[in-house]
Structure 1
Amino acid sequence: MARARRPLERPPVAIDVAPAYEMLMSLVTALDAGDADTYEVGTDWIAEIRSRAGNDLLARLESASLGDPDSFIHLIPLAYDTPAPRDVAAFLAHLRKTDADEIRLHLVQYYARETRRMTPPSVIQAAIHGGADAQQEFLRTSYADWEPWTQYLRSVFAADGEALKAEIIGALEEWNERVWAPESLTILPILERDAEARREALRELPMEEFIQAATNGVEFVPRPGIERVVMVPSFVNRPLVSFTEFGEVLLIIYPVGDESVSAFTDSPPLRLVRLSKALADEKRLRILRALSDGEKTLMELAETFGVAKTTMHHHMIILRSAGLVSVGVGSKRYRLRTETVPDVGALLSGYLCCAPAVSAAETRPSAPSKARAGG
Structure 2
Amino acid sequence: MSTPIDIKFAPTYELINSLHTYLCRIWHKRIDLGADWHAGVRDRLSPGFRSHLDASELRPEWRFVYLLAHLYPGRGGPASFLDWLEELSPGDMYELLAPRLPAVTGDLAGLQQWLAGLLRPWYEQYFAGFDQDMLVRLEQAAGQHRALLGTLPPAELAEELTNGLRFEEDGGIRQLVLTPQYHFQPGNVFYLYGGGLLLCQYPADLHAPQPDDGPSPPLYRTLRSLGERSRLRILRYVSGGPRSFTDILRHVGLSKGITHEHISNLRCAGLLRAHVVGENVTVFSLRSSAVIRLQEQLLSYVEGDADNSHDV
1:169 and 2:116 are equivalent in the alignment: yes
Please tell me the residue identity of whatever aligns with 1:343: R
**Is 1:40 matched up with 2:32?**
yes
What is residue 141 of structure 1 aligned with on the other side? none
* 8 Å contact from structure 1 (residues 28, 73) kept in 2: no
> 1:334: Cα distance to partner?
0.2
The alignment partner of 1:229 has SS state of: strand
Match of 2:148 among 179, 201, 208: 201
C-alpha contact 1:25 1:72 (8 A) present in aligned 2: no
- Superposed CA offset, 1:283-318 (max 9, x none): 211211221232211233234434454543332232
Quick check: 1:84 aligned with 2:34?
A: no
RMSD: 3.2
Please list every run of 5 or more consecutive structure 1 residues that lacks an aligned counterpart in the other structure: 1-7, 113-120, 130-159, 357-375
CA distance in 2, matches of 1:321, 1:285: 15
Distance 1:33 1:263 in 2: 25
244 and 93 in structure 1: CA distance in 2 versus 1, 3 angstrom threshold: same
Amino acid aligned to 2:82: L
Equivalence for 1:247 = 194
1:53 corresponds in structure 2 to 45
CA distance in structure 1 between the aligned counterparts of 2:171 and 2:288, rounded to whole angstroms? 29
Structure 1 residue 241: deviation in Å?
1.1
Q: Cα distance 1:326–1:105, how it changes in 2: closer, same or farther (>3 A)?
A: farther
Aligned residue in 2 for 1:301: 248
Q: For the pair shown, which has the larger CA radius of gyration, 1 or 2?
A: 1
After TM superposition, list the pairs within 5 Å mapping 1:52-131 onto structure 2.
52-61=44-53, 67-68=57-58, 71-100=61-90, 111=100, 124-125=103-104, 128-129=105-106
- How many residue pairs are counted as aligned between the two chains? 302
The equivalent position to 1:323 in structure 2, one of 244, 264, 270, is 270
TM-score (norm 2): 0.83
Cα contact 2:3–2:176 (8 A) shared by 1? yes
For residues 106 and 262 of structure 1, do their structure 2 counterparts lie closer, same or farther at Cα, with a shift above 3 Å needed? farther
In structure 2, relative to structure 1, the CA distance for the partners of 1:355 and 1:215 (3 Å cut) is same
Give SS of 2:129's match.
helix
* Residue 347 (structure 1) aligns with: 297
Residues 186 and 325 of structure 1: CA distance in aligned 2, closer, same or farther (over 3 Å):
same
Alignment of 1:147-296 (within 5 A): 161-223=108-170, 225-248=172-195, 249-258=197-206, 266-296=213-243
Write out per-residue CA displacement over residues 150-190 of structure 1, whole angstroms, 9 at most, x where no aligned residue. xxxxxxxxxx5534432431331111001111115243122
Give unmatched runs, 5+ long, in structure 2: 307-312
Supply the AA of the counterpart residue of 1:35: W
Q: TM-score, normalised by structure 1?
A: 0.70
